Structure 1
């Protein structure tokens, strides 16, 4: 189990866009938080900083007490191995089976080629891959090609692939945005259930406020790259949440949103 500590990180892109502005928070090992904000608020940039796909311009990120921001080489690979990511774009290999796609989650521990992974995988890895599919109720479709599965089924396979990493932390970036409401609810229930059972630390970005209300125990919200809410969900009013999305149609992806209404800061 690992905690996450974000120390006043800022991110300014080469074009001058300030995506994050001194964002800081702590999330204890095994805790979960829902990250909210309109398109362009900086949510995706923050998640990318949390697994070092982006380096903050200032500040630092610590995962399990280790400085992720300054990690390089083997140290960074070891840390990333412990951070699972569930994307909005599911990115399964379409012509391979669900089982083969799940095995790719073990790549961080493998030296073999992608195409031969299902052949070279150890008996232990193959058994664990089936276990991961069982966890997401997809074992009966293990041999089915990924491109023949429904969107909800594909996302469940993607979660199984993440579980294959044996991560302590899961970052979920709009995991249900491309799904219909019923499939989205099943995926969220599954993700939260698995994370709770395994004691994982979870940060999940969501747009749907109704879904956020169901699953969020703690809300962290950004507007124009600044943290404006960080509090238990029960202490955040519906008006506070709606203010996050006021005039959201003026926002740009992962950048500043000039003229956006700023809700009153809410903190625990």
Structure 2
């Protein structure tokens, strides 16, 4: 009887292990072959990009796509890490890496997408040549976007920046030569579109310009955006090699996607991989 009991126990243990392996294999297969995907994006141009440029291509491949809109920059990554959504589109590389490190998340980019550039807008001047000495320019009060504003001004020849520094982290203290003696007024990025009418110049990030129904092409100058600042589709790292992630990348790299961008997202700066095709 004792031998029989041990034999039965061993068989039960093997069966249980086999059941767990089978269950795990089934879960992996379902993840690999899933056809219902949920995208997260901030409300505005990138939720529009999911709906107008990505969703139709994936639906043609047999997917069902649901969009979840977010009103802040915290929740899309947290929701992704908790698997409430499958992918998100709202952030650039610098923000992704910083957020993932700070919150100990395993997130990875899939592909970068055309992104609305920051622009210098003015209701006072029609070009940089018209700018008078001592003019005030409103710039974002967060370091990442402020650095972008200073790079635009340097490209326009209005300031020079210490060339030994990382251009992605420069600030006002790094300005070596202020040709027009511009006065910098840091304010919250979301308020920069309103500042166009109250200051001489305003450096407005593209997403806030679009949200305020500004025409990107009305800018005195649009930034020559470094690829690190272009938004990207992001997924959980564990999903990177799945077929559905590869289908997302294939959709974004398609001619149909670029055609939609050219027609409906005018002024958006294309990433290097798209420009080099």
TM-score (norm. length: structure 1): 0.28
TM-score (norm. length: structure 2): 0.27
